[in-house]
Amino acid sequence: MTKTILRALAGETLPTPPIWMMRQAGRYLPEYRATRAEAGDFLSLCYNSELAAEVTLQPIRRYGFDAAILFADILLLPQALGVDLWFVTGEGPRMTTVTTQGEFDALGKGAMIHDTLNPIYETVRILRRELPEETTLIGFAGAPWTVATYMIAGQGTKDQGPAHALKAENRALFEALIDRLTESTIDYLDEQVKAGAEVVKIFDSWAGSLNGEDFDKYATEPARIITQELKARHPGLPVIAFPRQGGDKYIGFHKATGADCVALDDSVSPEWAAAHVQVDGCVQGNLASSHMVTGGQALVDETRKVVDALSNGPHIFNLGHGITPDADPENVQLMIDTVRGK
């Protein structure tokens, strides 16, 4: 029998939606924290293929999710392009910036990214061997706009202000960076698929800060180019797109990009999504991740609400954003049991 995730991505409405969870391998799990300590630091964990595969497998062993998502980070790609990347404990990523023509010209391109990223492909190969037969393996990358916001600012920002400023002040340089990231993302995901990823997901975490035509040009269009080229190289490859906080721009995103599934954050209701987005294909989401912290009857009620609202079309159950480090692992089990009607 075809894997449930692949069936949903192909447009099938299933009696019980398949389920996985963004950041399901992560700090809320004690076994993850132990493995990360063994690795030494976050980047060392990402580049240690055996340990990265181990933390990817941990939530599958514990919960039996229908999919595993490769453990990596969206900022490994800019590192592979030549940007210096490090993580500050308690504060997150820091990187050297790309805000001038000279800094852009110093970036690499083409096959050179694979020299850095080969350990990630090896993680995929290990996972393809070790995952249960029924579990789908998802590869991923950050979308060009979201990755560019970090490269331009040198860190995460609340409003993506530095990227918007560069876009306004030097549109040619900004668009060159978006184009370079689009090309490199295609090559990165292509290698993940060659290594064994069965689905790929494009995370545009900061898509919601793009408005109007900018959303179309810098969120929708790169997703379309990446999706179409990957499908040309790998016919039948399912693609999940996540233009987070896209709001009304979620409408028509399937058709505009060719994505098989549009993932939804929890700023839109599942009823709205059923009426406006699911009509075009599979949707993924969209329980608020805060329920993984608070639990209780509200978790059960909201989980059922999402399942019921999206039950008349293809649906992959997930959170509206990644699970947070303060989540209770028992609440994850409660969510799964609720979705599966136990």
Going from the C-alpha of 284 to that of each of 1, 147, 321, the distances in angstroms are: 21, 22, 11
- β-partners of residue 141 are 202
**Cβ atoms 282, 315 nearer than 8 A:** yes
Per the annotation, the verdict on 73 as an active-site residue is yes
Catalytic residue among 7, 33, 62, 73: 73
CA distance 162 to 234: 36
Told to judge if 27 belongs to the known catalytic residues of this protein, a careful annotator would answer yes
Catalytic residue (choose from 7, 33, 36, 233): 36
Residue 263, SS3 per DSSP: strand
Q: How far is CA 126 from CA 38, 123, 225, 251, in A?
A: 19, 5, 29, 37
Considering the candidates 27, 62, 128, 233, report the single residue annotated as catalytic. Answer: 27
150 is catalytic: yes
Q: What letter represents residue 136's amino acid?
A: T
Q: Which of 28, 32, 47, 150 is catalytic?
A: 150
Q: Which of 146, 166, 164 is nearest to 156 (CA)?
A: 146
**Residue 23 annotated to the active site:** yes
Please state, in angstroms and as integers, the Cα–Cα distance from residue 162 to each residue in 88, 99, 141, following that order.
Answer: 20, 9, 22
Catalytic residue among 23, 180, 224, 244: 23
List active site positions: 23, 27, 36, 73, 150
